[in-house]
Every structure is written in structure tokens, then in C-alpha cells.
Amino acid sequence: MLHVVDSFGRIGEENAFAVLARATELQRQGKDIINLGIGQPDFATPDHIVEAAIKALRDGHHGYTPATGILPLREAVSADLHKRFGVDVSPDLVMIVPGGKVTMFMAILMFGAPGVEIMYPDPGFPIYRSMIEFTGATPIPVPIREENGFAFSAEETLSLITPKTRLLIVNSPANPTGGVTPKAEIDKLVAGLAKHPDLAIMSDEIYGQMTYDGLEHQTLLAYPEIRDRLIVLDGWSKTYAMTGWRMGYSVWPKPLYDAARKLAVNSYSCVNASAQFAGLAALTGPQDAVHAMVAEFDRRRKIVVEGLNKLPGVSAATPTGAFYAFPNISKTGWKAKPLASALLEETGVATIGGPDFGVYGEGYIRLSYANSAENILRALDRMGDFLASRKAA
Ligand code: PLP
């Protein structure tokens, strides 16, 4: 018998990948599947970015790069943060990592251990909790509530901090709810954090360029008082439709940077060199494709919300960020996971049950609107017919 360490009995995963596998299997059997389960833009990476990667390969960028990423790219990240938020971030604190997930992996590894608490949003990206449990730390969910517009409540978040809390994870704009935490609430949260100077904060800002209705993303980098304990997670996956390139970046406080660099050296050495050149072209080139994509998401967002609110027993708050809707289905009589499963098996519409994002996700399902408006309308029709004709299981 092999003796794999116990922590692997506690590591979780993302059910979105299991739903994708089931949807693909049903498709293979000839079923007409509309996939609203997937968390990636349905757009191709813009051509000039692809060309930059090809050029890098032709130019001979075939070797290792520095573990933290090539300097021009770290400089471009700094310049981009300055342009978007007016903040000064030294390229020496920027690290290029293979996808957004890697920052959370490293940050949770740095702070998680038996006997400590790590706070994370619930419903939230499932990997936060999975990694917290993997380290043996105690996961403390911060409830993300519909009545707060799926924003963090500063008061509730601060009330959950104990002397054992080592890391607070925040995420806005948020997966799976599409909620955006307004500046006033973040101001309050940061003001309260002054009383907890030993608490590190990881801010997952991967959907930062996807906000709607004139609402602006508020980066935590804008608060100098927490910069010495703030880790920011961002990347190219969503903004530039580059999920398969595995390109992310983190901003670390100085005392943690070297630990992150060593984790890179001990695991993946560096990010794929040509992908880093693609990332550079993405940040320094035209941003029209980003704006066009976000405008299209905005159009679909309205279609999805309007359609969902016409379904029997369903009510959907209007998401103000990311590309997800998180309708409340509690009045349909269905529990969320059986509903998501029946919708896929019986109507061919893939969604994700809210409990896959945490216990506070019961009563909701997540729909991604990274699919064409035409498919979204077809999916809504099928869901409407299903809910009108089928009793809850
Ligand atoms: N953070 C959030 C909130 C996400 O939704 C995702 C992806 O779905 C990630 C991080 C990870 O992004 P990446 O694919 O770049 O690892």
C-alpha cells in the first residue's frame, strides 16, 4: 500500500470541470448541449497577442526565464496598474505565475497550518477552501449575501476575525455571484483591518476589468496602509481570453516575495517564455478587444437577467461584475444541485449548483454568460419549459 500523506485526503477540486466533462460526454452521445457552466470567455485570444507568442518562439525565446518572470513584463504590469488605478507598484514586487490560481496556492501555503484560521468568501471560488483544508488550517467562510448585492459586508467580515486568523481572502468582482464590493464598503473593511496588523490579505482581482453599470472596480492596492501585508491576484485568463495560456501575476508585499520566488523555483521554474511575450503584447497593445468583449458581456448580462426573472420561481439579482448570474432558485422547490443536474441531463443546459461554491450557495445556481446571446435565449426557453412542467425531485 502506498502511504500518501493525509493532507491529500482533504484536497478538493472544481466541480465546474466535472460538469464540463459530463456536458462533453452528453454532446458526444449526440445531445444538443448549451454550456452555461463554463468559467472562461467564449472569445479567441486577440490576434496580436497570438502573433507575439509565435514571434517569441521564432526569435529563439526557448529557454528558462527568471523565476519571477521577464523584466519587461513585470514593468508592463506595473505600468498597467498605474494606468488603471494610479498606484505605484515596483516591478520588483510583481511576479509572473502560471495562471491566477497559482497566487492563491502560494499565499494559502504560506499562511495555512493546523491551528490557524483562514477566511474566504462563501459562495466563492472553490479552490480557496480546498487549499485551506489541504494545509490543515481551519476554513472560516465569510458569507456573501444576496441582500448585500453579493458584496462583502465589512462589518460581518471584521466580526469573524479572531487571534488565530492569519489570512483573509477577498474577491471582487466575484465568482460565482457577479457581485462587486463598492468602494465605501472596502474603505470600511480596510479601516477595520488597522486593528489587526498581523493579518495578511489576499485580494483576488482577476475579474477587475469586468464591471458594468458604471461601477468601478476598487483595487486594494489603492490603500497604502495595508500594502505591507497585501497580496494581489490578477492575470490574463479572463481579461484577454487567455485561460489556456496559463498566465497570471501577483503583487506581493516585500517580505513575502522571496518565499513566492522560491516556491516557483521549487515547482515550475518559470512561466512558459513565449506566453510571457504574449502577455506583454496584451498589456502594451490595443485594448479594443477587451472593451468589445466586456460590452458584449454587458449586453448578454441584461438578456440573462431579464430571462431568468421570467422563469417560474426564479429571481435573479443583476450582477455588476464578472460574467456570471447567480439566480435564487429556492422558490422553485428544487435544491440547487439536483436542479443543475436535472437541467443538464434532461434539457441539455449546463449550469453549476450553488453549493459547489460553498454552503451559502444553497438556493442558487451559477450561469455563465460566456456563450452567445442566441444560445442563452435557447437555454432560458428550455429552463422555463422544464420548471413549468417538472416537479422538484
Ligand atoms: N480566481 C477566480 C475568482 C476565478 O474565478 C478563477 C478562474 O475561474 C481564478 C482565480 C483562476 O484563474 P486562472 O484560470 O488564471 O488560474
In a domain, 50, yes or no: no
Q: What is the pLDDT of residue 17?
A: 87
CATH of the domain at 139: 3.40.640.10
**Together in a domain, 253 and 115:** yes
Q: What is the pLDDT of residue 15?
A: 87
From 175, 180, 181, 242, mutation site for ligand 1 pocket: most ligand atoms within 8 A of C-beta: 175
Other CB atoms within 10 A of residue 141 CB: 17
User: Is the distance from the beta carbon of residue 100 to the nearest atom of ligand 1 less than 6 Å?
Assistant: yes
**Together in a domain, 84 and 27:** no
Last residue of a domain, one of 284, 310, 331: 284
Q: What is the pLDDT of residue 265?
A: 98
pLDDT in tens, 240-255: 999 999 999 999 999 9
Last residue of a domain, one of 232, 265, 284: 284
**Together in a domain, 278 and 192:** yes
**Together in a domain, 306 and 183:** no
**Together in a domain, 126 and 139:** yes
Helix ranges (DSSP H) in the chain? 15-28, 47-58, 71-85, 100-111, 126-135, 154-159, 183-193, 254-267, 273-284, 288-309, 336-342, 373-389
Chain Cα centroid distance, residue 301: 17
**Together in a domain, 80 and 159:** yes
pLDDT in tens, 106-119: 999 999 999 999 99
**Together in a domain, 261 and 310:** no
In Å, how far are 162, 173, 240, 283, 350 from 236, measured between CA atoms? 34, 15, 5, 9, 25
pLDDT in tens, 174-227: 999 999 999 999 999 999 999 999 999 999 999 999 999 999 999 999 999 999
Distance CA 345, CA 360 (A): 25
In a domain, 175, yes or no: yes
User: Is the distance from the beta carbon of residue 353 to the nearest atom of ligand 1 less than 6 Å?
Assistant: no
In a domain, 392, yes or no: no
User: Is the distance from the beta carbon of residue 116 to the nearest atom of ligand 1 less than 6 Å?
Assistant: no
Distance CA 301, CA 337 (A): 23
Burial of 295 per CB tally in 10 Å (0-12, 13-18, 19+): exposed
Q: What is the pLDDT of residue 392?
A: 74
CATH of the domain at 328: 3.90.1150.10
Q: What is the pLDDT of residue 38?
A: 86
Burial of 266 per CB tally in 10 Å (0-12, 13-18, 19+): exposed
Q: How far is the CA of 126 from the centre of ligand 1 (A)?
A: 10
What is the DSSP-derived secondary structure letter of residue 356? G
Cell 508585499, residue? 253
Q: What is the pLDDT of residue 370?
A: 93
Q: What is the pLDDT of residue 390?
A: 82
Q: Which amino acid is it at 333?
A: G
Q: In the chain, which stretches have pLDDT less than 50?
A: none
Report the number of distinct structural domains present in the chain.
2
| Domain assignment of residue 371, given as a range | 6-44+288-387
Q: How far is the CA of 2 from the centre of ligand 1 (A)?
A: 32
In a domain, 246, yes or no: yes
User: Is the distance from the beta carbon of residue 178 to the nearest atom of ligand 1 less than 6 Å?
Assistant: no
User: Is the distance from the beta carbon of residue 177 to the nearest atom of ligand 1 less than 6 Å?
Assistant: no
**Together in a domain, 200 and 100:** yes
Ligand 1 atom with the shortest distance to the CA of 243: 14
**Together in a domain, 229 and 344:** no
In a domain, 49, yes or no: no
